[in-house]
Every structure is written in structure tokens, then in C-alpha cells.
Amino acid sequence: MIPEDKISLFRREYSKIQKELSDPAILADQRYYAGISRRFKELEEIINIVDNLQEIEHKIKDSLHFIQTENDAELVTLAREELEDSQAKQEELQEKLKELLIPRDPNDNKNAIVEIRAGTGGEEAALFVADLYRMYSYYAEKMKWKKNVISTNPTGIGGFKEIIFLLEGNNVYGTMRYESGVHRVQRVPETESSGRIHTSAISVAVLPEADEVDIDINEKDLRIDVYRSTGHGGQSVNTTDSAVRITHLPSGLVVTCQDEKSQIKNKNKAMKVLRSRLLDLEIARQETDIAKSRKVQVGTGDRSAKIRTYNFPQSRVTDHRINLTSYRLNSILVGELEEFIDALKLAHKQEQMNN
């Protein structure tokens, strides 16, 4: 059970936010209002469980006292049954409360920028980038998230060397963050005439969309180059200096964007990606520190780790972090990712509870 002084702090915070939510001035600031609304719901759930636990504790005490003092064997049997029910409910609520008290990552509620890049495997890897992009697009549609493509680098046969897109909606980063890492595919490539199975790999990076208040970028730290767009695109895209390359000198990060006809739009998109990559670098540093001091494998977002294999001949998908295998590859590729994402979320929570 939570100490009484901590419960009092929760109740005071709950009352304070309750008053703020009815203040017209607070309603005017939509971002702040959304934040305190989420916190209000979290506190409400915690307080409801605490109140239920207190009621159950009283029931348990009453049942124990009755069992010790009552002489009627039949009534004692009923009291024991009620005691067992109360103790089972108490254990269930205590586990739920323990889970709710795990510090929540403030980035979980952010939108997410997803970057998918071809690795080993040439054209086959580029085709698999397109496959995963479609998979995430289907999943986003199911989750009622909005998708906005930021940058593409297509190949001639329908693949992508790289594609970057923004997903906007409820708890996007908190849901998609576990997709970061190396995804491996085993199949006979379309470009293979002998029928041999090839193994290719691509990388997925899921970044929380950073606000300007999250990352302060000094203009003096940027080198901005403009150039003529290349590759696939409309005539006006390829014949004007609309493409933008931004180099963040302190970190060495380079972001390019050329999909828009407007140089300003390309610059804004590139800055969005740059801010998110810088925030991700800070998150990765913090998670590396956590991984050094604790035995964790799910929540650390190691971009170099092989996290999942898609085996087409066996219609098998395996997540190596939690040893979960599914033989529903075709369903997964059309966005039915819940089995993996829910299991990864659960494993991450259990890691947090055990550390």
C-alpha cells in the first residue's frame, strides 16, 4: 500500500488539477490543457484503486475477526470464502497500482517520426523498406493516426533507399517506440532468378516529435545548403533549388529534404526531423545509462540490435527481444501488429517493475 503522506499528495494534486480544468484561461492553452487532462485521468485511476483497496482491507479485517470469534461452522465457511475473494481482489488491485505508479515517459504521448532505411541487401532491402512502410501505414490507419510523408528516396522498381514520415495521434511514440532497431527479411527476392533465399536487413528509427521547447537549436550551429532536387519528382521539383540540407555542426547530424517544391517547406520539414533526432540522441544516452546499470532488453531502443526477423518461406515472424514467434506473416504485413506491440509493452512494464 502507498504511504499515507504520498496518498495525500496525490489527492491534493488531483483537487488542484480539477480546479484548473474548469478555468477558462487554462482552456485557452490547448497544449497545457491536454497535458493536465492526461494527468487528471492518471490520478483519478490511482485514487480510485487506493479507495477500493482501503475498502477491501476493512472487509479483510472484518472477515478475519468474524472467523476468529464466530462459532457457527457454516457462517465461518462463508466468511472464509468471502475472505479468499477479498484477498484475490486485493492482490489484483495492488499489482494494477504498482503498474500505475511506474514513472511514465513524458515522450510517450508525443507524435512520432519514423525513419526506415535500407541496409544490406541492395534492391531487395529497398523493397522491404516499402513493405514495412505499407505495414506501418495500415497499422496507423487502424489506430486512427494521421500520416504525413516528410522525405523519400525511391528506387526504380518500387522500393525506397529511405523513407521518413510523421505519425500524429494519441500515444503514438509510446506505441511505436519498440519498432526501433534492425528488421531482417528472409525470402526469394523478385530480382533472383535461381530461387535462392536471401537475407536482407533494414533499420527502423522511431523518434518522438520534438517541440521547439524540447530542443533549443542555435542558428549559429547550423549550416544550411540549398541545391537542385534529384531523382523522382515533378519537373518543377527537379529544376529549382528547392532541396535543403541542414548540418548540425556540434553533433554532425545531417538532414536533407527535397520532396516539396518550396524551399521553405523543405527547410521546415528538415528542422522538424533535426529537432527530433537531437531529442532522440538525448533519450538514447539516458537509456544507455539505464541499460548499464540494469539488465534490460526491451525499452532501450538500441538502433544497432537485430530485433525482428520476417521469414517468408515459413510465413514466420520472430521478435528476438521477447522470443515471440507468429506464423501470421501476411496478416502482420497488413498492419496486424497488436500481438507484438502489446507483448513488447507488457515486457517493458515488467522490466520496470522488476528494477
Residues of the chain with pLDDT below 50 are 233-237, 293-296, 300-301
- Residue 354, burial from CB neighbour count under 10 angstroms (0-12, 13-18, 19+): exposed
pLDDT, tens digit (0-9, with 9 covering 90-100), for 83-138: 999 999 999 998 888 878 877 777 888 899 999 999 988 899 999 999 999 999 99
Per-residue model confidence (pLDDT) at position 101: 83
Query: What is the C-alpha to C-alpha distance for residues 225 and 189, in angstroms, rounded to an integer?
Result: 38
Neighbours of 145 (CB within 10 A): 21
- From 212, 208, 188, select the one nearest 312 (Cα to Cα): 188
Helical axes 338-354 vs 73-100, angle rounded to 10°: 100
Per-residue model confidence (pLDDT) at position 30: 75
Query: What is the C-alpha to C-alpha distance for residues 265 and 258, in angstroms, rounded to an integer?
Result: 9
Query: What single DSSP character describes residue 103?
Result: P
All cell numbers assigned to 206: 522511431
Four-residue CA torsion sign, 49, 55, 59, 64: positive
What are the two backbone dihedrals, phi and then psi, of residue 197, each rounded to the nearest 5 degrees? -80, 130
User: Amino acid letter at 3?
Assistant: P
Neighbours of 69 (CB within 10 A): 8
- From 351, 31, 17, select the one nearest 209 (Cα to Cα): 31
The SS3 of residue 146 is strand
Strand partners, 163: 116, 152
Query: What is the C-alpha to C-alpha distance for residues 223 and 29, in angstroms, rounded to an integer?
Result: 34
Strands (DSSP E) along the chain, which ranges? Answer: 112-118, 146-154, 160-168, 181-187, 198-208, 222-227, 243-248, 253-257, 306-311, 316-319, 324-326
Query: What is the C-alpha to C-alpha distance for residues 116 and 167, in angstroms, rounded to an integer?
Result: 13
pLDDT, tens digit (0-9, with 9 covering 90-100), for 162-184: 999 999 998 899 999 999 999 99
- From 259, 256, 263, 271, select the one nearest 242 (Cα to Cα): 263
The SS3 of residue 193 is coil
Per-residue model confidence (pLDDT) at position 212: 67
Per-residue model confidence (pLDDT) at position 268: 86
First vs last Cα of the chain: how many Å apart? Answer: 18
**pTM to 2 decimal places:** 0.69
Query: What is the C-alpha to C-alpha distance for residues 27 and 7, in angstroms, rounded to an integer?
Result: 28
Strand partners, 117: 162, 203
